[in-house]
Amino acid sequence: MVNEKKENKRLLTITTEDGNQREIFENDLNDITRPLVEEITEDLKAEQSLMQAYELAMKTQHHMESVKKNISNAIAKLQAELPPIKKTAKTESVIKEIN
């Protein structure tokens, strides 16, 4: 009886290509599918443990992009307000040094 309950234990639920949910039970597994389910289960656990760090990294990335855009916009505004750069005639002094 206890062994029968173990065999009927739901291990995970997947979404099939047609969009339907399929529950995978212990008694569905064989020597080929068992390692695959174990791999999927381990990866799902890893995904869950990384999710908080991943979400923080995404927020940080979006914040960085916003900051860079603000810097770029502020530089463009600054350049528009600054007087033009006065170009001096350095070419004559360079020619004199060469001669």
pLDDT along the chain (99 residues), means of 10: 64 94 94 96 97 97 98 96 79 58
What distances in angstroms separate CA 87 from CA 74, 93, 97, one per listed residue? 24, 14, 19
What's residue 87's pLDDT? Answer: 75
**pTM greater than 0.85 (yes/no):** no
What's residue 34's pLDDT? Answer: 95
Cα(46)–Cα(36) distance, rounded to whole angstroms? 15
The count of other CB atoms within 10 Å of the CB of residue 34 is 13
CA angle 84, 90, 91 (to 5 degrees): 120
Q: Is residue 26 exposed (0-12), middle (13-18) or buried (19+ Cβ within 10 Å)?
A: middle
